[in-house]
Every structure is written in C-alpha cells, then in structure tokens.
Amino acid sequence: MKLVFFLLSQCVLLAANAQDLGVFGETFEVAEEDFLHHMMSKLQKMNQTGELKIAQNKVQEKIKENITHPPAVQGITETEKEKEYKFDPTITATRDLSDHNGKIFARAGEQFNPLDQVKMSPMLFINGNSGKQVSWALKKVEDRKIFRHDFAKIVLVKGSPFDLQEKLNRQIFFDQHGFLTKKLGIEHVPAIVFQNPWEKVLTIREEVAE
C-alpha cells in the first residue's frame, strides 16, 4: 500500500503544479478508496468465475513443487579427482550460549567448538539424480567401519529427496540453498563428511563414484 501511496502522491504533485496544497488530502483519500474498491470488485468477480480458486491452486502447486523438487545447489559438480581436507567448526560466541536447561556453556567473546559437546553423524553429499552416486552412498552406509558410527545421513544437492526416500525406504535430506556445502567448502560430489573419534575437527573427502 505504501508503494500505491507513493505513486499516487507523485501523480498528484505532477498534476497540481502550483495549486493549493489543501486538495492533496481529499484527492488522496478518494484515490485510495477507488483503488480498494476496484481490487475488491476484481477479487469478487474472480471468485464468482472460479479464477480465484485456479490462482490459489497454482500457488499451492508451486509451493509443493519447490518442496518435493528443491532447486539444485548451484556450483556443485561431479568429483573427478579425490580431495581430502579438514574443517574446524570452532566459532567465537557473539552472545552467551546456553543449553535447553539454561546452563551457559560459552560466554560472549569465548571460542566454542560444538564437537566438544556432541559427536557428529557422518554425512554423504550426493547428486540424487545420479544412479552411480546413489549406489556409492548406499555402499558407504552399509560399511559402518568407515565411519565408526551406526548412522550416516544422505544429503542431496540435486534431485528429489521425497522420491529417493520412497525408493530407498530411508530418510533423505536436502542441502537447502547450499547452506552446508558452502559452509564446509564442498565443491564436488559425492563427498563424505565425518569426525574421527580422536579429533575435534571434521574430515571432508570428495570421492570419485565408481
């Protein structure tokens, strides 16, 4: 509505030139009233003809499509050469950090490593549209000795997590907007992210799917 006010006021200024400023209020109110009346009439007409319901359905379908088939993470390509590196998740707290019981575990200004508090489950980043990468991930999940952990999360950077979840009968995740891959510096998939029991950093390994 502020945009409408702005546009209307500019039109009035251009048309008024040197007229009495007192006419602004009356002209503005009438214009706003006409605009709202026009919009209400248009919505009522759309509702009567069924256009409104069609428009609502289109919006719902668009939302559903974005959820079931999220946009692929941009800039991620298939791994052609293996690479391994470490990621230190240590941060400097900008405010006091506390647990669900209100107990403070890091004061503002202090450095804090989440791995001091919890052990991270391994994550397998893949392109869900690649059968080769899906097979690679399933082999990694079955070989628990690799991670020394009972559960590894499969995270997609492309493809439908719902379709793959139904096919594999296991929970599938999606890296929305590339938040995790950007944070971890992952540029190629498939990639493994895991924590060695003796380390307080994460090991990231981009592998070639065979």
Residues 6+ apart with CB under 8 A from 175: 73, 125, 155, 156, 157, 181
Residues 139 and 202 in one domain: yes
Is position 95 within any domain?
Answer: no
Q: Which of 23-37, 86-100, 128-142 has the lowest mean pLDDT?
A: 23-37
Is position 171 within any domain?
Answer: yes
Residues 82 and 60 in one domain: no
Is position 149 within any domain?
Answer: yes
- pLDDT of 123 reads 92
pLDDT in tens, 55-111: 676 666 666 556 667 899 999 999 999 999 999 999 888 888 887 888 888 888 888
Residues 6+ apart with CB under 8 A from 164: 128, 134, 154, 156, 172
Residues 26 and 82 in one domain: no
Q: Which residue has the higher pLDDT, 105 or 52?
A: 105
Is position 134 within any domain?
Answer: yes
Between CA 180 and CA 24 the distance in angstroms is 53
